[in-house]
Amino acid sequence: MEQPTPRFLVDRHIGFRELVVLDCLIAAGYVALALLLQHATPGDAGLTGTVADALVVAAGLPLAVRRLWPLPVLGVIVVVSVVALVSGVITDPFAAPALALYPVALARPGQRWIPVAAAGALGISAALATAPTVAYASWWLAGPGLILVGWALIAASWTLGSATQQRRVYAAREAARMAEHAVTSERLRIARELHDVVAHSIGVIAVKAAVTHHLLSDPSDEVREALQLIEESSRSALTEMRHMLGVLRSDCDSGPVLAPAPGPDGLSALVERCAAAGVTVRLHAEGLDRLPHALGLTVHRITQEALTNAVKHAAPTRCDVTIGVDDRRITIEIVDEGPPELTRAPPTAPGHGLIGMRERCAIYGGRFTAGPRPGGGYRVQATIPWQKTQDTDGVRR
């Protein structure tokens, strides 16, 4: 059983809504600063009063929705900034377009004409605009310096947005590759476990056939041939499965597992280990003694993975495990109450545990669902069809 992962209040992912709220704060801050500079800096403004204030607000306020409509917002801000610059209302027309250009680079990283067009329109307007009468102490506040610094801001914004988009594409591809590798690894691990169970059953058949052949005092020719065929076929199948096992064993395996394959009898030990890790488990299980070995192993592994996730992501908490067996199906439900409010962490991507549980259900044609509950906590449900007359390996034919 893995130890619970520590959680921190500040270690959380920022969602899209929170980013939109942040954009609203940026837009409000830009408008407030631009209005302050406009009223504090004298100059030859062609427009004054309410009209000038409206231009300043129109140049910055669309930033609040730049992630919702990236390209329209950029177009509006560039046009308004050009008008405000020519009218002498603002002296820095590049800051707002640079901020609006970042989400455009995320959405359309290949269309490089967009930053070129924005930089050209703003640069030409800055060059043709009437220079303010105030003598600026810094060269980059007016004239060619303003154009160079503005172009640098636009280039930096586009480069940052394109790099972020490329990183997201690479991360998505890497996540897909890792998910595929995880599914393959889980299937190999399940195949190794099922091989051990089936090999044991075939070995028992071979031994029982040999013993029966030895104990019969005077078997008929048909009985003798049948027993010899059963013994030879089972031993041959066992040899072939041992060869297959050599292929299934990966190089990362540290060595053969000497402990017997776990089954329903090991659920009580799982409950005790979860209690030591901070998860109180209430176990309700009926009819497990009817299951063949392979299905008992599947029930144990699904329960183990679900409880491990509860320990990692919800401890300290309570968890209900309900397992029922009838003549047609096995139902497994593991429900936890979720972590305490102060230690609640944001949802994460599915890990190997969910993949393993889903693959184990798929072997028997079962159904598997997992996800958070509306009232809090997490629920894992698995339904596996079976019949009491199944083969001894537990796999339906």
Asked if the model's pLDDT at residue 343 lies above 60, the reply is: no
pLDDT at 260 over 70: no
With bands split at pLDDT 50, 70 and 90, how would you rate the model's confidence at 341? low
> Does the domain formed by 264-385 have CATH 3.30.565.10?
yes
Kindly tell me the burial class for residue 233, based on how many C-beta atoms sit within 10 Å of its own C-beta (0-12, 13-18, 19 or more).
Answer: middle
d(CA 288, CA 192): 23
Predicted local confidence at residue 381, as pLDDT? 92
Neighbours of 258 (CB within 10 A): 5
Cα Rg of the chain, angstroms? 34
pLDDT in tens, 269-296: 888 888 888 888 999 988 888 888 778 8
CB 134 within 8 A of CB 140: no
Phi, psi (degrees; rounded to nearest 5) at 332 = -125, 130
Average pLDDT over the chain, rounded to an integer: 76
User: Is residue 333 pLDDT above 90, yes or no?
Assistant: yes
Report residue 258's pLDDT band, with 50, 70 and 90 as the boundaries. very low
Yes or no: say if 204 and 231 are a contact pair by the CB < 8 Å rule.
Answer: no
> What is residue 48's predicted lDDT score, i.e. its pLDDT?
63
Is the pLDDT confidence value at 262 over 80?
Answer: no
The pLDDT score that the predictor gives to residue 360 is 82
The crossing angle, in degrees rounded to 10, of helices 113-128 and 95-107 is: 170
Highest averaged pLDDT of the listed ranges 16-20, 237-241, 328-332: 328-332
Order of strands, edge to edge, in the sheet holding 378-385? 279-286, 317-325, 329-336, 378-385, 367-372
Q: How sure is the predictor about 110, in pLDDT bands with cuts at 50, 70 and 90?
A: confident
* Tokens of residue 126, six digits: 């800055």
Tokens 């944001």 sit at which residue?
A: 346
Whole-number percent of the chain with pLDDT over 90? 6
